[in-house]
Amino acid sequence: MADIPAYGELSARDYAEMGLMGGLEVHRQLATERKLFCRCPARRLTDEYHAEVLRHMRPTLSELGEYDGTALMEFKTRKDIVYRINRDNVCTYELDDAPPFELNQQALEYALEICLMFGCSIVGEVHIARKQYLDGSIPTGFQRTAIVGLDGAIPFPGQPGRVVRVQQISLEEDSCREVSDRGHVRTYIADRLSTPLIEVVTKPDLRTPEEWAVAATEIRKLCRASGRAATGAGTARQDVNVSVRGGTRVEIKGVPSIRLIPRLVHYEAVRQRALLEIRDRLRAAGLDEVPERSVDLTAAAESLQFRPVREALRFGGVVRGVVLPPPLARELDTLVGPGRPFARELADRVRVIACLDEEPNILWHPSAEAALPSAAWQRLRRAGGLAEGEGLVLVWGPERDVRTAVTEIADRCRMALDGVPPETRQVMDDGTTGFERVLPGPDRMYPDTDLPPSPLTIDRVEAARARVPAPSWEQEAALVEAGLPAAAARAIVLDGLYEHARRGLAVPGLPPQRVGEVLVDRFRLLRRRGWMGEPLEPEVVEQVFFRLAEGALSREVLPIVLRQLSGCRRADDPDTPEGIFAQQAVPPTAEVDAAVRVVLDGPPPRSADPEARLRYWMGRVMFELGYRAPGRAVRARILAALEGR
């Protein structure tokens, strides 16, 4: 069996040979004050709750009269969905006990502006659709979503003439946060529900794993540049679409960080390739159908010394074996991911759809893994009447769930004859992905009958166009033009600090690299230390730049000043910017000299090296003065004092 190449082992040419392609769906919350269809405050998250509501979801027909495959799958899982609700951030609308209020116009304006920045064609009339989600993540069973713009494009960096094409941008409501999903109970907390977000969907123009990260970063920059996107943990998520030649579009859902994407794309590509190879071997072996065949092994399993099975039997469960034809039996151990044999694909479906989620949830034979002694397998095979070469997949648990599992295992094996089943996958803890749901199609869309369409008149679109800031690539170019290094310019735009930088660059006497140092190095240091409370407004940072240029603040004291300004306060911190600037101002020379005297009179440095001794004294004096004095000045005063001794 072929090994699974690790991430980093394949070249662009290898990916091209595989026919790797795909795109992205970037979800980004908008910085609105309220939610999309009610007046609840947006982004006020808390795990505290005042009540629980229990619901179930049923599939319904689409507008064109079809049932959606995902919907039917979710119905099979028979989940109890529990919502935790807090009266401060959830009202009867989110609970689906009241119809929507009018569409949040601030959110629509923000979405319109972002669409214009992406160069989209703006629709004449915004129609709200219901997109079915039967996983329970939205209590209505559908997400209200509306297309605002279509067919945009942004430049692909470093490749003049190439663009990332944007298929559509929609305005939609965010879903609940999942708390847990065990057995037949899935619990959500509803605070995030209905937060306005935009979804930017690209065309499948990406070709190497790294290109996904580049495109995601560019989209993120443009959203930040708009000034309309919310920032902070949990405000952005990416869905990653991947396929290889002969494979199928598979969607990896909700990737929280861009850094993770290339590895996920790589492993999805090689998974699809492995599945296609399995398909080819099955076809070559003449397998053209997989009948659902299973045997009751409850009695035969009673003597098994395998804890999960014993537990299941103790609680009145059953054991069944799914019998697989020899060509499939031979593929059970074939790797489709690092350490993931094909049989894991079966286990995934059993976990998600039959809700048998205690791992391991299946055992298979033949297998390289020896979970059961070979004699036990022989007994089971005899009891099930298996022929030589046939495969046996053992599944155990409550009878209804086992019945669902048997059907799902047979279904998934059948899909192996077609290669790659269309599905959404979730990111697992080990950096690989696992089956999440059947990939939903257009059949899950349904027009919302609760709200009339909203026209976007020419006047309204033009007014928005006049308002939008320069796009990220123009912002970057302008910063470079003004003397910032390219890396700093990129980082500033990515962090949404263009306006801060523009103001800093306009301060007389302040070198551009100082602006970059503050906005990139200092800001990142602050965030790393958790010292960044509220995002700093451009006006406030501009005051810092002026004082830096005048010499009223030292470079060294900046982290403290910025921490204080961002509201990350400590006990005796002043509460106005003026107070902070006064407290942290560069001290007069006499105060520096006094500190120098104290330090030089104190314990001497251990080193004999003059430079090291000087560094030691400098550190002590800087600390003594709370970093308010510039390092260069302190050094000069120490040298002067030493000269006098």
Partner 1 sequence: MNRTEARPPLDARPDRFKGYRGAARDLLDRMGVGVWSEVRIHTTRGDFEGLVLPRAESADDRHVVLKLATGYNIGVAVETVTAIEETGYRQAHYKIPEQAFPETPGLPRVTLFGTGGTIASRLDYRTGAVIPAFSPGELYGSVPELAEVCNLRTEKLFGVFSENMGPEQWIALAEAVGEEIRKGVDGIVIGHGTDTMHHTAAILSFMVQDSPVPIVMVGSQRSSDRPSSDAALNLIHACKTAGESDIAEVMVCMFGPTSDQYGLLHRGTRVRKMHSSYRSTFRTVSDIPLAMVDRHAITPLRPDYRRRGEREVKVDTAFDDRVTILYYYPNMKPDVIDALVAAGYKGIVIAGTGLGHVNKQVYPALERAAAAGVHVYMTVQTLWGFVQMNVYESGRDIQERGVIPAANMLPEVAYVKLGWALGHSHDREEVKRLMLTPVAGEITEREPFDGYLILQGGLPEVEEFTRKYRI
Nearer residue to partner 1 within complex by CB, 454 or 543: 454
Establish if 58 lies at the interface with partner 1 (CB under 8 A).
Answer: yes
Binds partner 1 (CB under 8 A): choice among 408, 443, 495, 624: 443
Q: Give burial (CB, 10 Å; 0-12/13-18/19+) of 610.
A: exposed
DSSP annotation of 385 reads: T
Binds partner 1 (CB under 8 A): choice among 5, 45, 96, 414: 96
Q: Which residue has the tokens 């399995």?
A: 278
What distance, in Å, lies between the first and last C-alpha atoms of the chain? 79
Count of residues that bind partner 1 according to CB under 8 A: 67
Name the minimum Å distance from CB 144 to partner 1: 11
Establish if 153 lies at the interface with partner 1 (CB under 8 A).
Answer: no
CB 265 within 8 A of CB 215: no
Nearer residue to partner 1 within complex by CB, 460 or 613: 460
Establish if 123 lies at the interface with partner 1 (CB under 8 A).
Answer: yes
Binds partner 1 (CB under 8 A): choice among 29, 145, 226, 566: 145
- Using DSSP, state whether 197 is helix, strand or coil: strand
Name the minimum Å distance from CB 496 to partner 1: 28
CB 202 within 8 A of CB 120: no
User: Can you tell me the distance from the alpha carbon of 92 to that of 442, in angstroms, rounded to the nearest whole number?
Assistant: 29
Binds partner 1 (CB under 8 A): choice among 9, 47, 88, 125: 125
Ranges assigned E (strand) in 338-415: 340-341, 362-365, 391-397
Binds partner 1 (CB under 8 A): choice among 9, 17, 47, 66: 66
| Span from 134-142, 405-413, 508-516, 525-533 in contact with partner 1 (CB under 8 A) | 134-142
Establish if 449 lies at the interface with partner 1 (CB under 8 A).
Answer: yes
From residue 153, alpha-carbon distances to 201, 205, 215, 267, 478 in Å are 11, 11, 11, 28, 20
Report 156-175 residues binding partner 1 (CB under 8 A): 167-168, 170
Report 35-54 residues binding partner 1 (CB under 8 A): 49-54
Neighbours of 629 (CB within 10 A): 25
Nearer residue to partner 1 within complex by CB, 82 or 477: 82
Establish if 180 lies at the interface with partner 1 (CB under 8 A).
Answer: no
Binds partner 1 (CB under 8 A): choice among 91, 445, 525, 641: 445
Establish if 588 lies at the interface with partner 1 (CB under 8 A).
Answer: no
Sign of CA dihedral 366, 371, 375, 381: negative
Establish if 151 lies at the interface with partner 1 (CB under 8 A).
Answer: yes
Name the minimum Å distance from CB 371 to partner 1: 38
Q: What is the DSSP string of 21-69?
A: EEEEEEEEEB--SB-SSSSSBTT---S--SEEEEE-------TTS---H
Site string for partner 1, 69-88 (x = CB under 8 A): --x----------x----x-
Site string for partner 1, 334-373 (x = CB under 8 A): ----------------------------------------
ω before 360 within 30° of 0 (cis)? yes
Establish if 466 lies at the interface with partner 1 (CB under 8 A).
Answer: no
CB 598 within 8 A of CB 605: no
- Using DSSP, state whether 202 is helix, strand or coil: strand
Establish if 378 lies at the interface with partner 1 (CB under 8 A).
Answer: no
Nearer residue to partner 1 within complex by CB, 67 or 473: 67
Q: Which string of b and e fits 564-591 if b means at least 16 CB within 10 Å?
A: bbbebeeeeeeeeeeebbebbbbbeeee
CB 333 within 8 A of CB 1: yes
Establish if 120 lies at the interface with partner 1 (CB under 8 A).
Answer: yes
Q: What are phi and psi of 30, to 5 degrees?
A: -95, 155
Nearer residue to partner 1 within complex by CB, 249 or 569: 249
CA atoms within 13 A on the CB side of 609: 5
Binding site for partner 1 (CB under 8 A): 49-67, 71, 82, 87, 92, 95-99, 120-127, 129-132, 134, 139-142, 145-147, 150-151, 167-168, 170, 441-447, 449, 452-453, 455, 457-458, 461
